[in-house]
């Protein structure tokens, strides 16, 4: 049995924040989970996918994208079952269409939406602050500060969700999801039997045509008022220490603030309001805190969400207390915080003298070579890039070719010596933007997309490209897995672990042909000359074509061989 | 116990996650408060990786500049790269066997001769432990046990509030039986490098 399942209540395990979320979900009686992987959320899905083999009462699937996953989880919750979906911050953009209206129709069974944000873009294309999705959608939000809270809040989130009949956002960041710390276990739910839900028809609730949507919006607004009361009294909003100065903080920064207050010896001068239930913000609690203080510093990564809330509360109550934060230049809206940065800001805000430890003289350290992440030695993507580049070179087309790229390991084709990644927005943008370039320019366009990303967001832009006579070559780099995030399954894969042997297989070449793409070839990128001869006519022509470069990820192949 | 902040650095693929998992297990079983911050995802593809490990009730799972009590390097260039986060009395424990970046193999950058910088390193800090980690690991049975050699070297300094047996128990608990013997030998070999 997996240790996360065998651990008894009160037993302590060293868990990653994401593992703690899984344990919390299983304590909270999760029945149906669905996700598309994305760093820093991926371990949640990986673990649930693995654990369902030991738990007859748990179903988890890797859906083809975050929107599908959210719809699967929403339907489960509409049927009265507790459900969860998890995604990286930009994944919620994909699922946002579902989320916004799901907030209107709500849920019956508890539903948790985990959004794992990535300040500093450790593994992402932007550092958007998804707390604004809570505000935009009008959904309650919890923000754990560490793995222990991640476990407890996840279990609690199901109760909160059922009480309000709304999905609950659980917002982490990389430093919470990928922190590892001692976590004390609670009681696991029973998973001995598969449990079926029942969907009760109620078109006046579940089908938001305009007349119903207008009513449901009112219901949502009423629930937000109820949620504000809950936030004010929430056990997740706590005060530490006492004093005439105050700090308001949420997320991983709670740790930085509590350490700093202790290390600066400010426990009797600075009170800390650490918030875990942050949307709707606890207006009453904030007002009480602000009223007693001479000055308040708001510490939060990325956007000034709590800071603005504090200013609104102060204005509404006519409180004159100075509020420091992003607007006053104490913090930046960009990049993640560090403990030192927070300590300095606290000292500055409250007029304390603090000097960071003296740095040693390092003038003798030589220039060191950078270590950008690279494609693995022997990676099939390297071969595909080489084959395409050589043909374009031979055709004299290389310098006039635009290479739209996509999200996956192959984005590393950006770096020398490959340098075949020119334009990227988001999942699937290699296909949609290629069509745009083909209408806007006379340049040659060769796009790259992975197999998993193709199923995620490549199918509909390819249909559009066929219909609108877009002119580009799309290279689908089929390595038979979702490699970057840890080898999650893909519907097209032939190479698969034993437990997935019985799944149907969707053939990429058949799909592309069925969409009506005029020219399609499949190559083995390791057979260089053969591959070059096969793709040359496509790279010469001025019409839509698809090259499927098929060779498994070498790490994935080794992993499957071990099973 | 006193608060202790350990920064472990290396290159993706060197097994820094196992290094920190074992250390975490040791802390857990001895009831010592521990928190860590790990690097997952894109950076693991041959990039620089680091694990921040804080012991003794520190809440922040990240270590700032000037806060590192012990810098542990699985690779010498990475040890040097992390020095801006040290202070004058930081203890340094590092392997000296280089991992040449792909970018150098591609002829796009150079990997400097580190003989002199590593000598300077020993002069610049009061306690510096350098050892050929990969070579020691190979002698123990597999070069892949570099992470456990380095863990042994960290344990051997006597700076952590754990006994050698604590570490051996944790290794037995976590490492797969097939690789256990080599890893136990690797730990002992690393331990004897720094234990006086």
Encode pLDDT of A297-307 as tens digits. 999 999 999 99
Residues A531 and B126: their CA atoms lie apart, in Å, by 59
Q: Distance (Å) from the C-alpha of residue B87 to the closest C-alpha of chain A?
A: 5
Q: Is the pLDDT of residue A295 over 80?
A: yes
On chain A, the residues whose CB falls within 8 A of the CB of B128 are none
Asked if B86's CB is within 8 angstroms of A370's CB, the reply is no
On chain B, the residues whose CB falls within 8 A of the CB of A340 are 64-67
On chain A, the residues whose CB falls within 8 A of the CB of B84 are 359, 362
Asked if A1 is an interface residue toward chain B (Cβ–Cβ < 8 A), one would say no
Question: What DSSP string describes A265-296?
Answer: T-TTTEEEEEESEEES--HHHHHHHHHT-SEE
Residues A485 and A483: their CA atoms lie apart, in Å, by 6
Instruction: Report CA-CA distances (Å) from A456 to A50, A67, A429, B26, B160.
Output: 22, 9, 11, 42, 47
Those of residues 230-259 in A touching chain B at CB distance below 8 A are 252, 254-256, 258-259
Residues B83 and B88: their CA atoms lie apart, in Å, by 10
Using CB atoms within 10 Å of the CB of residue A495, give its burial: 0 to 12 exposed, 13 to 18 middle, 19+ buried: middle
Residues A539, A392 contacting (CB under 8 angstroms): yes
Q: Is the pLDDT of residue A441 over 70?
A: yes
Which residues does residue A423 pair with via DSSP β-bridges, in sequence order?
A404
Q: Is the pLDDT of residue A154 over 90?
A: yes
Res B42: pLDDT: 60
On chain B, the residues whose CB falls within 8 A of the CB of A178 are 37-40
Nearest CA among A137, A30, A130 for reference residue A88: A130
* Section A100-122 average pLDDT: 98
On chain A, the residues whose CB falls within 8 A of the CB of B58 are 259
Q: Is the pLDDT of residue A449 over 70?
A: yes
Q: How far out from the chain centre does Cα A320 lie?
A: 38
Q: Which of A57-61, A211-215, B30-34, B36-40 has the lowest mean pLDDT?
A: B36-40
Res A358: pLDDT: 81
Q: What is the mean pLDDT of chain A?
A: 97
Q: How many CB pairs under 8 A join A and B?
A: 166
> Would you state the structure tokens that stand for residue A392, as one six-digit string?
């374009």
Nearest CA among A65, A64, A62, A61 for reference residue A96: A65
Three-state SS for A41? coil
For residue A178, give the nearest of B37, B102, B108 by CB distance: B37
Asked if A407 is an interface residue toward chain B (Cβ–Cβ < 8 A), one would say no
For residue A175, give the nearest of B27, B47, B62 by CB distance: B62
Res A512: pLDDT: 98
For chain A, what percent of residues have pLDDT higher than 90? Answer: 96
Q: Is the pLDDT of residue A96 over 70?
A: yes
Structure-token match 């996650």, residue found? B17
Query: Tens digits of per-residue pLDDT, B19-76?
Result: 999 999 999 999 999 999 987 666 566 789 999 999 999 999 999 999 999 999 999 9
For residue A357, give the nearest of B40, B66, B81 by CB distance: B66
Res A374: pLDDT: 85
- List the Cα angle B151/B156/B162 in 5-degree steps: 80
Query: Tens digits of per-residue pLDDT, A540-552?
Result: 999 999 999 999 9
Res B44: pLDDT: 63
Q: pLDDT confidence of A114, banded at 50, 70, 90?
A: very high
- How many residues are given for chain A? 563
* Section A234-248 average pLDDT: 97
Residues A401 and A48: their CA atoms lie apart, in Å, by 43
For each of the domains in chain A, give its residue range(s) and CATH number, in order of start: 3-232 (3.40.50.970), 237-349 (3.40.50.920), 380-562 (3.40.50.970)
Q: Is the pTM for the entire model greater than 0.95?
A: yes
- List the Cα angle A278/B39/A68 in 5-degree steps: 60
* Section A139-154 average pLDDT: 98
Mutate to test the interface with A, among B21, B28, B45, B119 (most CBs of A within 10 A): B45
| First vs last C-alpha separation in chain B | 23
Asked if A396 is an interface residue toward chain B (Cβ–Cβ < 8 A), one would say no
* Section A408-431 average pLDDT: 96
Those of residues 33-52 in A touching chain B at CB distance below 8 A are 39-40, 42-43
Query: Tens digits of per-residue pLDDT, A495-535?
Result: 999 999 999 999 999 999 999 999 999 999 999 999 999 99
Res B45: pLDDT: 67
| First vs last C-alpha separation in chain A | 17
Per-residue three-class SS string for A376-416: CCCCHHHHHHHHHHHHHHHCCCHHHEECECCCCHHHHHHCC
Asked if B88's CB is within 8 angstroms of A370's CB, the reply is no
Using CB atoms within 10 Å of the CB of residue A32, give its burial: 0 to 12 exposed, 13 to 18 middle, 19+ buried: buried
Asked if B117's CB is within 8 angstroms of A366's CB, the reply is yes
Q: How far out from the chain centre does Cα A175 lie?
A: 13
Asked if A362's CB is within 8 angstroms of B40's CB, the reply is no
Question: Domain spanning B4-131+157-174: which superfamily?
Answer: Pyruvate-ferredoxin oxidoreductase, PFOR, domain III (3.40.920.10)
* Section B147-154 average pLDDT: 98
The DSSP code for A502 is: T
Minimal Cα distance from B174: which residue of A?
A3
């Amino acid at each position: 049995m997996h240790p996360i399942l065998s651990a008894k209540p009160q037993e302590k395990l060293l868990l990653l924040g994401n593992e703690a979320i899984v344990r919390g979900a299983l304590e909270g009686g999760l029945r149906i989970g669905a996700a598309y992987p994305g760093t820093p959320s991926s371990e949640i899905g990986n673990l649930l996918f693995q654990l369902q083999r030991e738990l007859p009462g748990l179903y988890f699937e890797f859906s083809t994208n975050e929107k599908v996953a959210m719809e699967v989880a929403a339907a489960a919750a509409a049927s009265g079952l507790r459900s969860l979906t998890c995604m990286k911050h930009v994944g919620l953009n994909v699922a946002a269409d579902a989320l916004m209206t799901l907030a209107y129709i709500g849920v019956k069974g508890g539903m948790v939406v985990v959004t794992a944000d990535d300040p500093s873009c450790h593994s992402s294309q932007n550092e958007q602050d998804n707390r604004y999705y809570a505000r935009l959608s009008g959904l309650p939000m919890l923000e754990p500060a560490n793995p222990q809270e991640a476990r407890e809040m996840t279990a609690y989130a199901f109760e909160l969700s059922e009480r309000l009949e709304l999905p609950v956002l659980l917002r982490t960041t990389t430093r919470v999801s990928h922190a590892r710390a001692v976590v004390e276990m609670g009681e696991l739910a029973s998973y001995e039997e598969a449990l079926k839900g029942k969907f009760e028809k109620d078109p006046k609730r579940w089908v938001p045509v305009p007349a119903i949507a207008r009513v449901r919006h009112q219901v949502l607004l009423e629930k937000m008022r109820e949620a504000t009361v809950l936030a004010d009294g929430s056990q997740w909003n706590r005060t530490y220490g006492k004093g005439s100065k105050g700090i308001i903080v949420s997320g991983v920064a709670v740790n930085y603030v509590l350490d700093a207050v202790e290390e600066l010896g400010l426990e009797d001068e600075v009170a800390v309001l650490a918030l875990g239930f942050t949307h709707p913000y606890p207006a009453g609690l904030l007002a009480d805190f602000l009223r007693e203080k001479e000055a308040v510093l708001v510490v939060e990564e990325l956007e000034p969400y709590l800071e603005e809330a504090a200013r609104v509360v102060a204005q509404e109550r006519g409180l004159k207390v100075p509020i420091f934060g992003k607007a006053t230049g104490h913090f930046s809206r960009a990049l993640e915080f560090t403990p030192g940065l927070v300590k300095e800001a606290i000292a500055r805000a409250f007029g304390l003298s603090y000097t960071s430890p003296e740095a040693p003289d390092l003038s003798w350290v030589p220039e060191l070579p950078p270590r950008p992440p690279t494609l693995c030695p022997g990676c099939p993507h390297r071969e595909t890039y080489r084959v395409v580049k050589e043909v374009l070179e031979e055709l004299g087309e290389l310098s006039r070719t635009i290479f739209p790229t996509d999200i996956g390991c192959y984005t590393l084709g950006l770096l020398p010596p490959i340098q075949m990644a020119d334009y990227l927005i988001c999942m699937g943008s290699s296909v949609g933007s290629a069509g745009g370039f083909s209408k806007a320019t006379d340049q040659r366009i060769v796009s790259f997309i992975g197999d998993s990303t193709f199923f995620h967001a490549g199918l509909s832009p390819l249909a559009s490209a066929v219909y609108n006579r877009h002119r580009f070559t799309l290279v689908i780099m089929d390595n038979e897995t979702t490699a970057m995030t840890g080898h999650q399954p893909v519907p097209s894969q032939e190479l698969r672990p034993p437990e997935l042997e019985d799944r149907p297989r969707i053939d990429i070449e058949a799909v592309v042909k069925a969409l009506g793409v005029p020219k399609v070839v499949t190559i083995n990128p390791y057979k260089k000359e053969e591959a070059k001869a096969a793709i040359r006519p496509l790279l010469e022509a001025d019409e839509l074509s698809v090259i499927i470069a098929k060779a498994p990820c070498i790490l994935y192949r080794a992993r499957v061989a071990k099973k | 116990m006193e608060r202790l902040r350990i920064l472990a650095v290396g290159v993706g693929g060197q097994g820094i996650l196992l290094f920190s998992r074992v250390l975490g297990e040791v802390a857990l079983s001895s009831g010592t408060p521990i928190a860590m911050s790990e690097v997952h995802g894109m950076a693991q593809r041959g990039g620089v990786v680091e694990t921040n490990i804080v012991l003794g009730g520190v809440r922040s799972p990240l270590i700032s500049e000037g806060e590192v009590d012990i810098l542990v390097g699985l690779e010498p260039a990475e040890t040097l790269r992390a020095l801006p986060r040290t202070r004058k009395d930081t203890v340094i424990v590092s392997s000296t066997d280089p991992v040449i970046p792909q970018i150098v193999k591609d002829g796009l950058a150079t990997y400097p001769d580190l003989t002199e910088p590593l000598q300077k390193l020993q002069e610049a800090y009061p306690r510096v432990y350098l050892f050929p980690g990969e070579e020691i690991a190979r002698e123990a049975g597999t070069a892949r046990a570099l992470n456990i050699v380095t863990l042994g070297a960290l344990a051997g300094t006597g700076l952590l509030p754990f006994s050698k047996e604590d570490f051996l128990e944790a290794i037995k608990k976590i490492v797969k039986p097939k690789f256990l013997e080599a890893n136990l030998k690797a730990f002992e070999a690393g331990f004897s490098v720094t234990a006086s």
